[in-house]
Amino acid sequence: MNITWEAHACLPLHPEADFAPLEDYRACGVHYVSINIGMDMNPLEQMLPVIAAFRARLAAQPARYVLPRTVADIEAAAAQGRLAVGFDLEGAVPLLGRPEMVALYRDLGVRQVHFAYNRNNAVAGGCHDDDTGLTPLGRRMVEAVNRAGVLMDCSHTGRRSSLDIMEVSDAPVIFSHANPQALIDHGRNITDEQIRRCAATGGVVCVNGVSRFLGTTRPTAADVARHAAYVADLVGLEHVGIGLDISFPQPGIDETPPGDHDPRWWWPPEAGYDRQGAPSTYPPVAAWRELGPALQALGMGADEAGLVLGGNMQRVARGVWGG
């Protein structure tokens, strides 16, 4: 069966984060959601309680959720009306400079990882920094990601580093939440060269729903579909997916990284960011009900739209994760 696949979403990085948004995804017929469990600015003392709490809460509700290891697990959950939830890591700093950490995170439920969150680190360059490319440690990290059977993501990564990653990786590379720079000129969006090189690895570019990256103040399914159609026209619809990147701030939940944290550095105001990196607004989860018709309105058939909504990520993940 074709799986509907949300390649990236952001619950608050707090053990008490409300799972209500996951229920919204399940109600909209989404079968798999990848949720962030940490970024480069989040220390392990913040991340590990989040991972532990999320794992425990998913396991405590087996009638609703499953933490998958394979695509077959997602397909089985979908047939039973359960939502499969995977974790993703945004940046290499939490890997502590040790390639073997990738397999440890995989065993905790992390199914995709990218190496730089906007800024440079010891592994790779960020999209809002002077990207000097993938480092020798970064090359070993790519090999570790491939060896561990984790999806190699290039979102938030600098152009040069992303191209280096695609050259080194022996598995398909994805962008879990990135839009074409040709449509909206923003540092977080990606060039046609990056899109083509990603497709050449057999990978998928998942379009996000962030207003500033879409070029609209109130993003809709039609806005997302327009960016997805651009990627499809450039490299083929088999290389397009959806990762709306919706953030779900919740009253009374403080997910601010502890210690010396400067949001203006991570999300530079000169790039148009405002509070805590929130670039503006997102479509509601209910937009998932409208994405299929919006894609078909741009000329895709129902089966082709199904590939964009999840079939392409399903294919790539099956090859990388196995099963």
> What's the pLDDT tens digit per position in 278-299?
547 999 999 999 999 999 999 9
- CATH number, domain of 238, equals 3.20.20.140
Q: Is the dihedral of CA 12, 15, 16, 19 positive or negative?
A: positive
- The answer on pLDDT for 256 being more than 80 is yes
Whole-number pLDDT of residue 215 = 93
Whole-number pLDDT of residue 275 = 54
Number of domains in the chain: 1
The gap from C-alpha 163 to its chain's centroid, in whole angstroms, comes to 18
- The answer on pLDDT for 322 being more than 90 is no
Rounded to whole angstroms, the Cα distance separating 320 from 323 reads 9
pLDDT digits (tens, 9 = 90+) for 102-111: 999 999 999 9
Which ranges constitute the DSSP H helices of 149-287?
159-168, 192-200, 211-214, 221-235, 263-266
Average pLDDT for residues 251-263, to the nearest whole number?
91
In angstroms, the Cα distances linking 1 to 4, 21, 26, 49, 131 are 10, 24, 16, 35, 41
> Which among 28, 22, 1 is positioned nearest to 288, based on CA atoms?
28
- The answer on pLDDT for 276 being more than 60 is no
Sole residue written with tokens 């009306």: 81
- The answer on pLDDT for 13 being more than 60 is yes
Q: What is the pTM of this model?
A: 0.96
Rounded to whole angstroms, the Cα distance separating 257 from 262 reads 9
Residue range of the domain that includes 137: 5-321
Average pLDDT, rounded, for the chain:
96
Rounded to whole angstroms, the Cα distance separating 241 from 155 reads 13
Average pLDDT for residues 44-61, to the nearest whole number?
98
